[in-house]
A = this chain, B = another copy of it.
Amino acid sequence: MIVVMQPEASEAQIQSVIDHLVNLGFDIHRSTGVERTVLGCVGATANIDVRDVEVLEGVAEAHRISSPYKLAGRSFRPEGTIIKAGPLTIGGDEIPIIAGPCSIESREQLFAVAEQVAAAGARGLRGGAFKPRSSPYSFQGMGEEGLKLLREACDHYEMAAVSEVMSETQIPLMLQYVDILQVGARNMQNFNLLRELGKIRKPILLKRGIAATIEELLLSAEYIMAGGNYEVILCERGIRTFETYTRNTLDLSAIPVVHKLSHLPIIADPSHGTGRRDKVPPMARAAVAAGGDGVIMEVHCNPEKALSDGAQSLYPQQFTKLMEELRLIATAVNKRVAPARAFAAQQR
């Protein structure tokens, strides 16, 4: 930590601050400049709230200089992290695409879309089983029944199963059926949930909160990793800004920023990031071009009848065309997207 004193700070104030910092366990290096005094504090600062130092008499500013995350930091694993979940590998040369409906609504609905996205080359199948909604009268999800269907569809079409865990009490249930446990944007700082997810050994897909900085996203990853679960996939899904034309503002610059700061893979969710079907293909292409390690998207065979998020769900044919574009773009960044698969084409 660096503590910058006010130009008018008295010697007594400076000594008092130094004493305070020594009590906290720091070694202090004092630099006296023409204009002001600066204190360099060496020691463990991860748990220090710099505001506690800034409110001391005579202090102008305090800056933390060691990054507050260690395990999530790039220097912990400079070569990058590769995570495997069923038939899906992320962080390597292949960019996995994860697709599927917002909610699992029925066997017919799920298998229909699963076949289409599998045929188009998707490596993961997404689908929500628990849907606590803003209206208490809306569809609340199929629960465990939905998870069973997801598992079955993934086994049949050889995809990884991805579904959102809403609270720590659901973890044991989730572990039976899914390959990747998704943490939604609203739960990014639900520390009880993060702590429990640190104890399991399955990959976590951690979505950025709509008001969370990239540093806070990495701190939440650190929270999971501190428990011993190092398989965290980050996900940019849009932040809230003054622009209201789109549901959120998809911050694709988070991709190169995370690649610099962390070894963890980062994917993008253009469905939630834009909220409108016609904006999803352009932003999915942009995510791959920006170096994203994957893309997750909502696809529905009949979006007009979807029980949730129909407006942002792609039609299967849109998804298939988009996959072809993504394959071309991936080559420009020395990566690849899995090819279309023949089995489904035959069945159709």
Contacts and interface: CB of A to CB of B under 8 A. Distances in A.
A259 to B, nearest CB: 8
B49 A311 contact: yes
A249 B257 contact: no
Given A31-B29, A134-B223, A249-B249, A260 B278 contact: yes
Interface string A7-31: 1100000000000100000000101
The listed residue with most B CB atoms (<10 A of its CB), out of A33, A210, A282, is A282
Given A283-B290, A286-B287, A75 B8 contact: yes
A75 B289 contact: no
Interface stretch (A105-113, A115-123, A150-158, A184-192): A184-192
Q: Chain A interface residue count: which class?
A: 35 or more
A249 B166 CA distance: 29
Contact of A40 (B6, B40, B66, B169): B40
A40 to B, nearest CB: 5
Interface string A63-97: 10111000000010010000000000000000000
Contacts of A215: 245
B291 A282 contact: yes
Contact of A285 (B67, B214, B332): B332
A223 B268 CA distance: 31
Interface of A: 2, 4, 6-8, 20, 29, 31, 33-36, 38, 40, 42, 46-47, 49, 51-52, 54-55, 60-61, 63, 65-67, 75, 78, 132-138, 166-167, 169, 186, 189-192, 195, 209-211, 213-215, 219, 223, 226-227, 239-247, 249-257, 260, 273-279, 282-283, 285-291, 303-304, 309-312, 325-326, 328-329, 331-333
9 contacts: A49-B310, A49-B311, A52-B311, A55-B276, A55-B311, A213-B242, A242-B242, A249-B249, A256-B279
